[in-house]
């Protein structure tokens, strides 16, 4: 059985791109564009890994990561931030929120798949 990845990104184009790359890499994926629905999606889909954009409306990826890592129910699910925010301070802040990995946009299929494989 293949591992399942939850992708959270407000860009439909980015969602489709990541889903295509993951499918070619042998992973199942589920994409959502509303960061306020992450916990609901986790309950429904039971993902092995979460790919999380940072710049999103209503709830940014740093907030969502911090929220997930602070709840015992979700804290063991690896979170990989996938973002165009690539300054060292952004990476540091992501780590401080509990992110397990960091992939900079734009990324190659190998970069995305290698990050997921580290945790799946």
Q: Is the pLDDT of residue 1 over 70?
A: no
How far does CA 39 lie from the centroid of its chain?
A: 13
How far does CA 37 lie from the centroid of its chain?
A: 13
CATH code, domain carrying 21? 3.40.50.2300
> What string of DSSP letters covers 38-102?
HHHHHHHH--SEEEE-SS-SSS-HHHHHHHHHTSTTTTTS-EEEEES--SHHHHHHHHHTT-SEE
Q: pLDDT tens across 22-76, in order?
A: 999 999 999 999 999 999 999 999 999 999 999 999 999 999 999 999 999 999 9
The percent of residues above 90 in pLDDT, for the chain, comes to: 97
Terminal-residue alpha carbon distance, the chain: 12
DSSP-derived letter for residue 36 is G
- Whether the bond into 26 is cis, omega within 30 of 0: no
Tally the domains of the chain. 1
Q: pLDDT tens across 95-107, in order?
A: 999 999 999 999 9
pTM of the model: 0.97
Domain hosting 61: range is: 4-119
Mean pLDDT of 105-118: 97
């Amino acid at each position: 059985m293949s591992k399942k990845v939850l992708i959270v990104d407000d860009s439909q184009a980015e969602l489709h791109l990541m889903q295509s790359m993951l499918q070619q890499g042998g992973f199942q994926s589920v994409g959502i564009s509303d960061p306020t629905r992450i916990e609901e999606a986790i309950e429904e889909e039971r993902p092995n890994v979460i790919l999380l954009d940072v710049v999103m409306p209503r709830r940014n990826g740093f907030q969502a990561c911090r929220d997930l890592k602070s709840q015992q129910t979700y804290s063991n699910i690896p979170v990989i931030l996938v973002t165009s925010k690539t300054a060292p301070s952004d990476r540091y802040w992501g780590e401080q929120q509990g992110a397990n990995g960091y992939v900079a946009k734009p990324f190659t299929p190998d970069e995305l798949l290698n990050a997921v494989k580290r945790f799946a």
